[in-house]
């Protein structure tokens, strides 16, 4: 890796030839990095599509007047001519990224099949070990054959590896959609999720959520955990902490106001909950 002002990174740039452009998808550039504490990019626009995988750490992404925190295992797709800014969220913790920029007539329909759009460019918890291994294999293929980038054999192997990433994302997406579809078979569970998303900052209890869903509390908790993979209390906790982190990152209000906004009765109880979740106090980040 080479050292830059805000990161240690390795970049690879490709120049697709006429043969490559007869296909439906091709890679333009790719790379990986280890961010420095001052890591920040943008606002910027790119001319192609680009997957960014969060391998380790947390990334604060800003787009369309929105802010999202990406965790290890999350990924985002940047779209052509859309403006994005992103920076390291926890400067005292490692942030590692892998990116793959691509183009071609099949790019847009493939991304649509994954449910990715400029307004919804993030896939949560989709950077599995298998997908990251394929991304690393793509990097190694280019690094190990940098003298053969115009060879047909190199090109075919590169495209095979790029398509393999899409194939796995689509396969895992089918599993996610199946889980989502199963929620539709339990209308009261969908009602409870809507209720939680609407009122999680208002100090609601599991009892109140179960009542809104129209089922007994213990039954609600059992089925919720089975279907969602976490308890209702943990789900509420996560919603509050993620929202709190975004509010703090905006830097337009003090910590006490954030605590009250997300439903905590005091700064002390909020700070303790925040520290337990993120591993640091809410006031310790810039």
Q: What is the CATH number of the domain that holds 267?
A: 1.10.10.60
Domain count, the chain: 2
Looking up residue 60, the CATH number of its domain turns out to be 2.60.120.10
Q: Are 155 and 230 members of one domain?
A: no
Q: Are 191 and 117 members of one domain?
A: no
Rg from Cα positions in the chain = 21
> What is the tens place of the pLDDT at every residue in 249-285?
877 889 999 999 999 999 999 999 998 888 888 876 5
Domain boundaries, position 85:
2-182
CA distance 13 to 34: 19
pLDDT of residue 174: 58
The answer, yes or no, to whether residue 230 has pLDDT greater than 90, is no
Last residue of a domain, one of 133, 161, 182: 182
* Residues 6 or more apart whose Cβ sits within 8 Å of residue 90: 57, 58, 278, 280, 285
Q: Which residue has the tokens 């969060």?
A: 54
Q: Which two tokens stand for residue 15?
A: 């120049």
| Beta strands 26-35 and 96-103, pairing class | antiparallel
What global pTM score does this model have? 0.69
CA distance 254 to 282: 10
Q: Which two tokens stand for residue 1?
A: 């890796």
Query: Is the separation of the CB atoms in 182 and 227 below 8 Å?
Result: yes
Q: Are 224 and 98 members of one domain?
A: no
Query: Is the separation of the CB atoms in 247 and 262 below 8 Å?
Result: yes
Last residue of a domain, one of 182, 202, 233: 182
What are the contacts of 152-159 at 24+ separation with CB within 8 A?
A: 152/19, 155/17, 155/19, 155/20, 158/27, 159/20, 159/23, 159/25, 159/26, 159/27
CA distance 149 to 73: 30
Q: Are 36 and 158 members of one domain?
A: yes
Last residue of a domain, one of 166, 182, 198: 182
Q: Are 157 and 40 members of one domain?
A: yes
Q: Are 232 and 249 members of one domain?
A: yes
Q: Residue 21: which of 148, 144, 155 has the closest Cα?
A: 155
> What is the tens place of the pLDDT at every residue in 45-100?
999 999 999 999 999 999 988 888 898 889 999 999 999 999 999 888 899 999 99
Q: Are 202 and 120 members of one domain?
A: no
Burial 116-128 (b: 16+ CB within 10 A, else e): beeeebebeebbe
Sequence-ordered strand ranges (E) for the chain: 2-3, 7-13, 26-35, 40-44, 49-56, 59-63, 66-70, 75-78, 84-88, 96-103, 122-123
């Amino acid at each position: 890796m080479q050292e830059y002002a805000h990161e240690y990174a390795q970049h690879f740039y490709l120049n697709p030839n006429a043969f490559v452009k007869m296909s439906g998808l091709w890679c333009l550039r790719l790379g990986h990095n280890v961010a420095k504490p001052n890591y920040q990019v943008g606002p910027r626009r790119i001319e192609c599509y680009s997957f960014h995988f969060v391998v380790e750490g947390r990334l604060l992404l800003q787009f369309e007047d929105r802010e999202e925190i990406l965790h290890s295992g999350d990924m985002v797709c940047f779209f052509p001519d859309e403006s994005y800014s992103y920076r390291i969220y926890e400067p005292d913790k490692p942030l590692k990224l892998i990116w793959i920029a691509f183009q071609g007539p099949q790019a847009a329909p493939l991304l649509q099949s994954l449910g990715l759009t400029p307004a919804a460019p993030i896939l949560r918890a989709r950077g599995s070990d298998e997908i990251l291994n394929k991304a690393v294999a793509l990097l190694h293929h280019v690094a190990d054959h940098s003298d053969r980038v115009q060879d047909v054999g190199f090109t075919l192997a590169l495209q095979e590896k790029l398509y393999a990433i899409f194939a796995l994302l689509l396969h895992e997406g089918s599993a996610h959609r199946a889980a989502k579809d199963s929620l539709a078979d339990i209308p009261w569970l969908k009602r409870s999720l809507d209720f939680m998303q609407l009122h999680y900052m208002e100090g609601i209890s599991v009892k109140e959520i179960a009542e809104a869903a129209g089922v007994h509390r213990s039954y609600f908790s059992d089925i919720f955990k089975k279907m969602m993979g976490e308890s209702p209390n943990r789900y509420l906790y996560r919603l509050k902490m993620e929202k709190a982190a975004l509010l703090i990152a905006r830097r337009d209000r003090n910590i006490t106001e954030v605590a009250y906004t997300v439903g905590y009765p005091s700064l002390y109880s909020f700070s303790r909950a925040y520290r337990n979740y993120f591993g640091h106090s809410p006031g310790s980040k810039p």
